[in-house]
Amino acid sequence: MNMLQNIRIVLINTSHPGNIGSAARAMKTMGFTDLVLVDPLDFTPGTPNEQADAMASGATDVLHGAKVVQTLEQAVEDVAVVLGTSARSRHLPWPLMHPRQAAGKVMEVLANKEGLCDQKVALVFGRERTGLTNEELAQCQVHIHIPTNEEYSSLNVASAVQVLGYEVRMAILAHQGKLDADYSGQWGVEWDNELANQGEINGFIQHLEQTLVDIEFLDPNNPKQLMPRLRRLFQRAMPDKVEINILRGILKMIGKSRS
């Protein structure tokens, strides 16, 4: 998945090395590896940092591969499109997107129909307390706002990386047709038995109805909505062939136990 390599995560002036480690972990779970740190407050590349390593868990490769620069300009020099995370809009209004819209924008750049597929995209995250400055936001083509709780919008920086990274990954997987292939929505892809066909389901429903009459649970002269409700229930459950056989086996035993 080459597209993942063209996503750069930029963290500006991060205070806590643990947050850099957590961000590296979040990146790696989503398949991203290109991490650039702009003037981190307490992190020196090449020098072991216990807190950062602990939070990175199995993503120390991403953490140790991080590039450290002094300015945002340096961090995005080779980048085509820069998207910056922001609290709600500042003094000068700016194109504001939620993460899903931003992921769509990222895909426009990555999957450019002219085949310009080596264009890089940067997602920029600001300081823990104060975010990005107005000067830094002015260097971003798009501002992204995660629609947080109005009364508590204090998203951890690694959590913001996780949410944005997730949206971009989802967009890439959808573009590559992998979401459809891996998630059938209703049912797992590796269902172990073939689903029952409607003939088998109807056979079971008839058998069930007869049994319910036999045990005097269903009055054929006053059936009400019992059978339609039971049919709906079993249709919704989408039974497979083995399950239908089990159910018919149960009905058969009910019959035997009464004779």
Please, which residue, 36 or 173, has the CB nearer to a second copy? 173
Please choose, out of 34-42, 77-85, 119-127, 161-169, the segment that lies near a second copy by the rule CB under 8 A: 161-169
- Residue 114 engages a second copy in binding (rule: CB under 8 A): no
- Report whether 4 contacts 31 (CB < 8 A): yes
Among 51, 67, 94, 133, binds a second copy (CB under 8 A): 94
Please, which residue, 35 or 218, has the CB nearer to a second copy? 35
At how many degrees (to 10) do helices 226-237 and 198-214 cross? Answer: 140
Binders in 217-256 for a second copy, by CB under 8 A = none
- Residue 58 engages a second copy in binding (rule: CB under 8 A): yes
CA angle 74, 115, 170 (to 5 degrees): 75
Among 96, 226, 227, 230, binds a second copy (CB under 8 A): 96
User: What is the spatial distance between Cα 7 and Cα 172, in angstroms, rounded to a whole number?
Assistant: 11
- Residue 78 engages a second copy in binding (rule: CB under 8 A): no
User: Which residue from 38, 87, 35 is spatially nearest to 56, judged by alpha carbons?
Assistant: 35
CB of 2 to a second copy, least distance (A): 14
Among 46, 48, 115, 188, binds a second copy (CB under 8 A): 188
Among 154, 221, 225, 257, binds a second copy (CB under 8 A): 154
**3-class secondary structure, 106:** helix
Among 5, 44, 134, 153, binds a second copy (CB under 8 A): 153
Among 42, 50, 118, 182, binds a second copy (CB under 8 A): 182
Query: Residue 66 corresponds to which amino acid?
Result: A
Among 6, 19, 60, 162, binds a second copy (CB under 8 A): 162
| 149: β partners | 152
Instruction: Locate 58 and state its tokens.
Output: 């199995």
Please, which residue, 33 or 210, has the CB nearer to a second copy? 33
List, as one string, the DSSP characters of 112-174: -TT--TT--EEEEE-BTTTB--HHHHTT-SEEE----BTTB----HHHHHHHHHHHHHHHHHH
In sequence order, the 6+-apart residues with CB closer than 8 A to the CB of 46 are none
**3-class secondary structure, 3:** helix
Q: Which residues bind a second copy (CB under 8 A)?
A: 22, 25-26, 28-31, 57-59, 89, 92-101, 143, 145-149, 152-156, 158-159, 162-163, 166, 169-170, 173, 178-179, 182-192
